[in-house]
Amino acid sequence: MESLRSLLRPVMSVPLARHLVVALVAFVVAMAVIGTSSQYLQTRYAEMAYFAIAAGGLTLLTGLSGQLSLGHGALMAVGAYAATLVLERTGGETLADVFVALLVAIAVCAVVGVVVGVPAARLHGPYIAGATLTLAVAVPRLANQWDVLGGEQGLQVPVPRASELPAWIQDLIWFFTAVEIDQYSFLAYLGWLLLVLTFVALANLSRSRVGRRWRAVRDDDVSAELAGIHLGRARVVAFTVSAMCAGLAGGLMAMNVRLTAPGAFTITLSLTLLAAVVLGGLGSLTGALIGAGVLAFLPHFATDLGESAGLSATQAAEVTPVVYGLVLMLVILLAPAGIVGSLRSFLARSSLTSSLGQTKEKTT
C-alpha cells in the first residue's frame, strides 16, 4: 500500500496528471455501469451527463468568479437549437455529424457568451440576477418569432443510428461491456465521455492562473484590480467558458430529448440548474455532479411519490419544482456551503478535533 502510494505521488502531485487519472478511472467505471444498465437507467445517465456539463459551467461561473447566472437555461436553448439546425442540414447519421453539431453549438454559445458576458461583467448581485432571468424568458420565445426555428411545436432532432457508427467503436464497446451498442447506450456513452473531458478541462482551468484570478475577483474586486487583474476581462472569460458548457449541454439535450421546442427551456430549467449547483456546493465540480444526479433521478421519484399520495399526473409533476425550491431555501438557510462544502468543513473540523485530542494526550 505504502509503495503504491509512493509510486503514485509524482503523478498525483501534478494537477493535470491527477485530473486525467481520475477522469480515466471515472470513465471506465461509467462505461461499465452504463453497459450493464437497463434502457431506462441509460436514459437517466445520459440526462445526468448533460445536466452535469451545464451545472459544471454554472458552478465555475457562480462559485469561482462570483457571478450569478439565471440564464443558463437560455444558453442551453441556444446550444440545442444550433445543434438541431446543423443536424437537420447534415442528416445527423454519422458520428462526424454529431461532433460537428456539438462543436457548432459550443461555438455559437461562445459568441453569445461574449455578447452577454460583456455587459454582465459590469453588474452585480440582484442586477445580474434580474438581467440573466430576463434572458431566460426572452431567448426561448424567439423560437416563435422565426419560422426556421419551428415555433411552439419545435424541431425534430435526427439522431445517429448505432449501426452507422464506425466498426471499431462498436467492437470496442462490445469488448468492454459484452453488450451491443444501441441508440440509448450510445447517447449515454457520448454524454459521459464529453462530461469527463469537460470536467478535466474545467478542473484544470480552476487550478490554473485563470482560476486563481477568478477567485481573486470574487473575493475582493478592489484588491484584485489593484493587483493588476483586468476585472472585466476575467469576468467575460468566465462567462464565455460557462456559456460554452451550457451550449454543449444544450446540444446533447437536443439529441436525447429528440425534440427542440421553446417549452423545454422555461425559467424553471434555469432555476433548476441553480438548485443543482447550490445543493452540491457552489464552486465544486463534485457538487455539480451530485446536483446533476439529483436533477436526473429526482423528478421520476418525486412524481411517483406525488401520485401515490393521490395527486393527478399534472399535479404530481409539480412536486419536483417544489422540492427544488425547498432545496434552494433550506441550503441557503441551513448549509450555505452545500453538500460538498459542508462535508469538507465537517471533515476538517473532525480532523482538527482528533489532532487536538492527540496533542492533549501527549501533554498529559
Residues near other proteins (CB under 8 A) are: 62, 66, 68, 70, 119, 122-127, 129-131, 133-135, 137-139, 141-142, 144-145, 221-222, 225, 231, 267-268, 271, 274-275, 278, 306, 311-312, 314-315, 318-322, 324-329, 332-333, 336
Torsion from C-alpha of 34, 36, 38, 44, nearest 10 degrees: -20
| Per-residue DSSP letter, 36 | T
Q: Which three cell numbers stand for residue 113?
A: 457568451
Q: Which is nearer to other proteins, 164 or 318 (CB)?
A: 318
Q: What is the nearest approach in angstroms of other proteins to the Cβ of residue 23? A: 30
Q: In terms of Cα–Cα distance, which of 327, 244, 205, 269 is closest to 53?
A: 244
Q: Which is nearer to other proteins, 4 or 313 (CB)?
A: 313
Q: What angle do CA 285, 31, 341 make, to 5 degrees?
A: 20
Q: How far is Cα 27 from Cα 230, in angstroms, rounded to an integer?
A: 37
Which regions of the chain does DSSP assign to beta strands (E)? Answer: 155-156, 259-260
Q: Which is nearer to other proteins, 70 or 236 (CB)?
A: 70
Q: Which is nearer to other proteins, 159 or 328 (CB)?
A: 328
Q: Which three cell numbers stand for residue 301?
A: 421519484
For 177-216, give the DSSP string.
HSS---HHHHHHHHHHHHHHHHHHHHHHHHHSHHHHHHHH
Q: Which is nearer to other proteins, 238 or 275 (CB)?
A: 275
Q: How far is Cα 74 from Cα 51, in angstroms, rounded to an integer?
A: 14
Angle between helical axes of 285-308 and 319-334 (0-180°, round to 10): 130
Q: What is the nearest approach in angstroms of other proteins to the Cβ of residue 145? A: 4
Q: Which is nearer to other proteins, 75 or 252 (CB)?
A: 75
Q: What is the nearest approach in angstroms of other proteins to the Cβ of residue 340? A: 17
Q: What is the nearest approach in angstroms of other proteins to the Cβ of residue 208? A: 24
Q: What is the nearest approach in angstroms of other proteins to the Cβ of residue 139? A: 8
Q: Which is nearer to other proteins, 20 or 267 (CB)?
A: 267
Q: What is the nearest approach in angstroms of other proteins to the Cβ of residue 317? A: 8
Q: What is the nearest approach in angstroms of other proteins to the Cβ of residue 353? A: 27
Q: Residues with Cβ < 8 Å from 121, sequence gap 6 or more?
A: 67, 231, 232, 235, 236, 239
Q: How far is Cα 334 from Cα 322, in angstroms, rounded to an integer?
A: 18
- Please answer whether residues 330 and 276 qualify as being in contact, where contact means their C-beta atoms are separated by less than 8 angstroms: no
Q: What is the nearest approach in angstroms of other proteins to the Cβ of residue 210? A: 20
Q: Which H or E run contains 331?
A: helix 319-334
Q: Which is nearer to other proteins, 116 or 254 (CB)?
A: 116
